[in-house]
Amino acid sequence: MILLRALARLLGFLLVVALAVTGAAVALFSIQGGDGGLSIPGLAKLVGLPSLGTTVDGFLSQLEASGPVAVLSALGGLGAIVLGALLILGALTPGRGRTFALDDNEQGALAARRRPLARMATALAVRAGGVTRAKVRARPGRRRPGVLRIRAELTRRSSQAEARTALEQAVAPLAEPLGIKTNVKTSVAERGARVQ
């Protein structure tokens, strides 16, 4: 979805640039009348429209008849439809945004950016017993408040299950009132790592 959104934005930008260049060219070649110089027929000659017309005529004739060109064209048309549908999906699907919407009603909104929430959760997570290091990523949801992804390194003596519970409890005062889910993954710290 991220790729589709990026592709839709890139194509949109390129189309706007192409439209602007075309508009500027048409405006420039509208300065003079007649068939030459800065006239519309002059522009048509410059970009080779007459020869393009001949080429398209030939292509359309082949397209009407059954044969390999017609099959290829049908496949190309189907591909274009699928690509168009995907680009529309990419353009219309809302992004995750940078903020967690915690509350929004007629009295006003309550929101927090991802980074402060993640830093706050990290500060809480490293206080959990047996944790030597913790990193939290806050990921806002499209409809729900979102999720806190906690990656923690534990001392060699720590029980993974106990540490997981301790981590969930440590960030609960932050996450629960906001309706944010937590996702905890743990690993054993390298030799020599100490509890912070």
Q: Which is nearer to another protein, 76 or 173 (CB)?
A: 173
Question: Taking the complex as a whole, how short is the minimal distance between the CB of residue 173 and another protein, in angstroms?
Answer: 6
Among 139, 142, 141, 137, smallest CA distance to 152 is for 137
CB nearer to another protein: give 115 or 156. Answer: 115
Please, what is the minimum distance in Å from the beta carbon of residue 170 to another protein?
Answer: 12
Site residues, another protein (CB under 8 A): 99, 102-103, 106-113, 115-117, 119-120, 123-124, 173-174, 177-178
* Closest distance to another protein from the beta carbon of 2 (Å): 24
Nearer to another protein, 9 or 98 (CB): 98
Distance CA 46, CA 158 (A): 76
What are the start-end ranges of the H helices in 65-113?
A: 68-92
Contact 122, 104 (CB under 8 A): no
CB of 174 to another protein, least distance (A): 6
**Rg, C-alpha atoms of the chain:** 30
| Residue written as token pair 């979102």 | 146
| 69 token code pair | 């060109």
